[in-house]
Chains A and B, each alone.
Chain A
Amino acid sequence: MLTLDQATYDAIVAHAKRDHPDEACGIVAGPAGSDRAERLVEMVNAAGSPTFYEFDSTDLLHLYKEMDARDEEPVVVYHSHTATEAYPSRTDIGLAMEPNAHYVLVSTREHGNNDGPVEFRSYRIVDDQVTEEPVEIVEQLPATAQTRSSA
Chain B
Amino acid sequence: MAIEVRIPTILRTYTDGEKSVTGEGDSLSALIDDLESSHPGIKERLIDDGDLRRFVNVYVNDEDVRFLGGLKAPLSDGDQVVVLPAVAGG
Contacts and interface: CB of A to CB of B under 8 A. Distances in A.
Interface of A: 25, 27, 43, 47, 51-55, 57-58, 60-61, 64-65, 73-74, 77, 79, 88-92, 95-100
A52 B87 CA distance: 11
A92 B84 CA distance: 17
A58 B64 contact: yes
Interface of B: 8-10, 55, 57, 59, 62, 64, 66, 82, 84-90
A125 B64 CA distance: 27
Given A61-B82, A97-B8, A99-B9, A91 B90 contact: yes
Nearest to A47: B88
A2 B47 CA distance: 34
A55 B87 contact: yes
Contacts of A25: 87
A93 to B, nearest CB: 8
Given A61-B57, A61-B59, A61-B62, A98 B9 contact: yes
A91 B89 contact: yes
Contact of B84 (A47, A60, A90): A60
15 contacts: A43-B87, A52-B89, A53-B89, A55-B86, A57-B64, A58-B64, A61-B57, A64-B84, A91-B89, A95-B88, A97-B8, A97-B87, A98-B9, A98-B87, A99-B9
